[in-house]
Structure 1
């Protein structure tokens, strides 16, 4: 049986983590003994220990760059790889991707695969910092045998940036567990538990309350929406360093009773199902996992036209797109959909039809395993 180790930086609630844990859970156990290494904290630590056959804590694996901790983490990973003699390591996220690939090369691991869930750099950071991240990715490219991206746009951009080549990479859309999304839900009860008044309309956003997700743009747009549709609530699912700042913004706009900060939740599918509209105001995204889940349950989405998002959100076909940071455009789209329930239904159904074909968790894992088997065969020959 082949020993595969997945390495990810942290076990916080996030798209990269959900993708990794679904992969680990669905691996074919008749072929693979599946291990996981990560920093030993985060809301999904217990879930991780349940799905992996063996879990290894890498205590010095941290975000962001920390030279001393990173060197110690690299040594920890090399020791683990030499001791356990894995056939394959599969790294996820930028920090674990760089350290894991270097450790794999130094430890002589036969097959090294890396998944790009989104880039660690973006246009809203200082140029020197962006260039540093690009440099680190370039010098690490020869340490990986094969690369997986979760959107074709990410793949094309990475090839242009010389992170890898077209012939040693593939796009595999991030699989989602449909069973979790399709379980029966009493929508009236969920609304009642959250405290949404009867017959009010609901806009839902799911994501960390941080600079990347930029929820303050959505709050500003929602304040405009309320002048047309006062019987509407905005549910913000997620937590982060901007929470107090956002609560102050809501207070300042005098819309405290209409914006619900729900924090991190384990019942996201249920909350998505009570939404009339799903909205995001992110500045950068790999693809947007919560957005994909909203589409999978047939919800219309209003999201920025950034990075991989337009690959699946086709404007006026499977959702509505707006220019990042354009609060007026975002507000206009939200008002339009609140005004036109038949258009919400049409976009939601189209979104569901498209995403059900592309984001099957079982199909994702089969594709990943085909990559492993092909690479191992090439090493033998």
Structure 2
């Protein structure tokens, strides 16, 4: 196989699912002998991770989406590196990357990742790509409905590091969070962003608390909505049952103490946190949005419900919590199904997209 030279662009300063996928992709392609360069925001978490792993990157500041200086600097990097592939990973990367490629002397093939299932606002960004990677069939359906030709779209599922979840123990967390070991634990792992709809999760938690007193709820993740959500939990009278953990590095250990994982999102591309839960053997009750239905099989490893229905989330969660045989069956099935969503498969699938373009 030809050795590829790839520039990846992601200007996000935060560390979310997309940045984790990019990091694993670059790390994996590097091990396969391909040459990778990442263009990213200065002093962001992505650049810190890349630096720690001795992976190549350029820091380019972007003040706004049409920032001409960022376009100029990115164009210079393209002409210097002369990549085979220019892969645009984030929403903010698209305009800068496309404009830089348009004005550069060297003309790489353009690949764009689409990780969300809402409709495209700027269609030209995607129509100018040579290939669009959708992270689920759900995302592909939205792209098709927005007028993107089928032959321009490849589905490559996001992956997780399955090895992170083997032989993990979460016993220490009962003491840290002040949870009785006999308590039922229901949780969500997600950034505190509007589309994750944590208020629906909290409304479901309030219903579960009435039906199954003593249940504890973990909200794992951080974001600007935290103070608002803490107040909302108080207004529902469940503050004593809900623990906001903030951002955590020990998610595999935290998932070990979950009895049920609830996803309350009204928009999703795929949701790698659901894959994490499945890998940990945690039954999932999730909203049927985006590609989530490709992960959660109704009555096999969990349940799907429509978005914005806290009473249905609560009903299905209680069904699992009350039936130990069901919970164990879903747990075993979740582990089996999660093997289809490894980071290795994501790396191989992306590599295939690149090679098929050249």
Name the TM-score class by shorter chain: over 0.9
How far is the alpha carbon of 1:219 from its aligned partner? Answer: 0.7
Q: Which residue in 2 is equivalent to 1:162?
A: 147
Find the aligned partners of 2:354 and 2:100 in 1 and give their Cα distance: 19
Q: Which residue in 1 is equivalent to 2:115?
A: 117
Kept in 1, the 8 Å contact 2:12–2:40? The answer is: yes
Q: Which residue in 1 is equivalent to 2:134?
A: 149
Q: How does 1:254-273 map to 2 (within 5 A)?
A: 254-273=237-256
Aligned residues: 355
Alignment of 1:106 onto 2:103: yes
Kept in 2, the 8 Å contact 1:116–1:149? The answer is: yes
- Tell me the secondary structure at the aligned position of residue 321 of structure 1: strand
Q: 2:25 aligns with which of 19, 23, 26?
A: 23
> TM-score if structure 1 supplies the norm length?
0.87
How far is the alpha carbon of 1:33 from its aligned partner? Answer: 1.4
Q: Which residue in 1 is equivalent to 2:347?
A: 365
- Tell me the secondary structure at the aligned position of residue 345 of structure 1: helix
How far is the alpha carbon of 1:220 from its aligned partner? Answer: 1.2
How far is the alpha carbon of 1:30 from its aligned partner? Answer: 5.2
Alignment of 1:90 onto 2:87: yes
Find the aligned partners of 1:309 and 1:198 in 2 and give their Cα distance: 30
Find the aligned partners of 1:41 and 1:316 in 2 and give their Cα distance: 45
What are the Cα deviations for residues 42-70 of structure 1, in whole angstroms up to 9, with x where unaligned? 44442232346211112116xxxx455x3
Q: How does 1:65-84 map to 2 (within 5 A)?
A: 66=64, 70-84=67-81
- Tell me the secondary structure at the aligned position of residue 27 of structure 1: helix
Distance change >3 Å, CA 262–CA 58, structure 1 → 2? same
Alignment of 1:194 onto 2:177: yes
Q: 1:181 aligns with which of 157, 160, 165?
A: 165
Distance change >3 Å, CA 44–CA 99, structure 1 → 2? closer
Gapped runs of 5+ residues in structure 2? none
- Tell me the secondary structure at the aligned position of residue 186 of structure 2: strand
Find the aligned partners of 1:181 and 1:109 in 2 and give their Cα distance: 41
Find the aligned partners of 2:151 and 2:14 in 1 and give their Cα distance: 32
Find the aligned partners of 2:107 and 2:256 in 1 and give their Cα distance: 44
Find the aligned partners of 2:13 and 2:24 in 1 and give their Cα distance: 13
Two-structure CA RMSD over aligned residues (Å) = 1.9
What are the Cα deviations for residues 183-223 of structure 1, in whole angstroms up to 9, with x where unaligned? x2233223222321221111110111121111011111101
Give the 4+ runs in structure 1 shifted more than 6 A: none
Gapped runs of 5+ residues in structure 1? 123-132, 377-381
- Tell me the secondary structure at the aligned position of residue 284 of structure 1: coil
How far is the alpha carbon of 1:76 from its aligned partner? Answer: 2.5
Kept in 1, the 8 Å contact 2:82–2:108? The answer is: no
> TM-score if structure 2 supplies the norm length?
0.93
How far is the alpha carbon of 1:244 from its aligned partner? Answer: 0.9
Find the aligned partners of 2:331 and 2:94 in 1 and give their Cα distance: 35
How far is the alpha carbon of 1:23 from its aligned partner? Answer: 0.6
Q: How does 1:36-55 map to 2 (within 5 A)?
A: 36-51=38-53, 53-55=55-57
Find the aligned partners of 2:133 and 2:82 in 1 and give their Cα distance: 23
Kept in 2, the 8 Å contact 1:34–1:52? The answer is: no
Kept in 2, the 8 Å contact 1:150–1:174? The answer is: yes
Distance change >3 Å, CA 52–CA 322, structure 1 → 2? farther
What are the Cα deviations for residues 77-105 of structure 1, in whole angstroms up to 9, with x where unaligned? 21221222222211112221332133223
Q: How does 1:255-294 map to 2 (within 5 A)?
A: 255-294=238-277
Q: Which residue in 1 is equivalent to 2:319?
A: 336
